[in-house]
Amino acid sequence: MTFSRVDVAQVILGDCEYCPVDTFEAWSPVNIALCKYWGKRNGVLNLPVNDSLSVALPGKGTHTRVTRLQVGAKDIVFLNDRPVHEADSFYKKVVAHLDLFRLGRSDRFRVDTVNTIATAAGLASSASGFSALTRAVAGVQGFSLDDGALSILARLGSGSACRSIFEGFVRWHKGEAVDGMDSCAAPLSQVWPGLRLGVLTLTGSAKKVGSREGMARTVESTPLYSAWPVQAEADIAILEEAIAARDFEQLGATAEHNALTMHATMIASWPPLLYWEPESVAVMQKVWQMREDGVPVYLTMDAGPNVKLLFEAQVEGSIRQAFPDVEVVKLFP
């Protein structure tokens, strides 16, 4: 049996009391994966092949306000204070997500979404965006949902959005069910006040192949992909141990190895997928040289050329000296 996104939303929202309000605002953070989500077992419901584990970026993310319009009006979408045209793919994705919450009613909405991160930074705003939109539209309909249900609904918009429902360290459990009712994220209890993430924006140019297409190509075209879920499962266990023990070397090394393994599967796809630019490789080599020189710093990369550094507070001075343009994010209060 196959399930549509509307079927899943109906199961979750069908029994919710409808208590509409005029407007509702929500916020969600961006998240960076230490063990990546790469590959789907169901592309309609964004069900992943493997579990992933991320950390939220406090203060960096998306504010979304959903306002009820007159019945019969057209949905309106504003992104960063600018109207988005109906023909734009972003408009279509937002409206398709709103559709999940209408349950056959003719409710119409205005969506105002503002990202607090520059799109050029290469920090996935689709994760924070669909998470905030999920919270805001559920709020304007007055549906009372727990964070697990919100996480499942956010996933239907964009897979990694299910992790952005939560702050801190978050694990997305891939689940086994065909309808994905067990595929949602949950927060880890640990905090790590000294942990830092450094964002290096190397190029702001738009990527040629998006994650959605890139994942599908990797799953279909490289025999290396079969090794990926095996490593991801092992890495998650090691990362959870490292977080519990606050073992930075173990955390950093595992996150870096995980990211580079994901990129290896991309490079081995056909046609090949290489998100790196020469500047990305130069940063990698600099990071590896710094480690040889005794500075504990590791890197991670997503489906783009920009590099994120992982380090602890005591080496922040060395990191800023080596990378004057780095934007340092404190991950926990």
Residues between 32 and 51 with contacts to ligand 2P0, criterion CB under 6 A: 33, 36-38, 46
- Within 10 angstroms of residue 94's Cβ, the number of other Cβ atoms is 26
Output the six-digit token pair for 289: 């040289």
**Contacts for 20 with CB less than 8 Å, ≥ 6 apart:** 68, 107, 140, 141, 142
Q: Given the rule CB under 6 A, which of 87-95, 123-131, 242-250, 288-296 is the region that contacts ligand 2P0? A: 123-131
212 touches ligand 2P0 by CB under 6 A = yes
> What minimum distance in Å lies between the beta carbon of 216 and ligand 2P0?
9
Q: Given the rule CB under 6 A, which of 120-128, 144-152, 186-194, 319-327 is the region that contacts ligand 2P0? A: 120-128
> What minimum distance in Å lies between the beta carbon of 211 and ligand 2P0?
4
d(CA 187, CA 164): 10
d(CA 137, CA 140): 5
Residue owning tokens 């408009």? 91
For ligand 2P0, give the closer residue by CB, 219 or 290: 219
Among 52, 134, 222, 258, binds ligand 2P0 (CB under 6 A): 52
183 touches ligand 2P0 by CB under 6 A = no
Q: Omega of the bond prior to 305 within 30 degrees of 0, cis?
A: no
Q: To 10 degrees, the CA torsion angle through 180, 214, 83, 68?
A: 0
Among 64, 113, 158, 222, binds ligand 2P0 (CB under 6 A): 158
**Contact in structure between 64 and 136 (CB atoms under 8 Å):** yes
> What minimum distance in Å lies between the beta carbon of 245 and ligand 2P0?
23
Q: At residue 30, what is the residue type? A: V
CA-nearest of 61, 54, 67, 57 to 24 is 67
**Contact in structure between 174 and 233 (CB atoms under 8 Å):** no
28 touches ligand 2P0 by CB under 6 A = no
d(CA 135, CA 143): 10
**Contacts for 131 with CB less than 8 Å, ≥ 6 apart:** 28, 62, 150, 154, 161, 162, 164, 165
Q: Give how many residues touch ligand 2P0 by CB under 6 A.
A: 16
Q: Given the rule CB under 6 A, which of 58-66, 156-164, 266-274, 305-313 is the region that contacts ligand 2P0? A: 156-164
> What minimum distance in Å lies between the beta carbon of 158 and ligand 2P0?
3
Among 26, 242, 303, 319, binds ligand 2P0 (CB under 6 A): 303
> What minimum distance in Å lies between the beta carbon of 275 and ligand 2P0?
9
Instruction: Enumerate binding residues for ligand 2P0 (CB under 6 A).
Output: 33, 36-38, 46, 52, 124, 126-127, 158-160, 211-212, 302-303
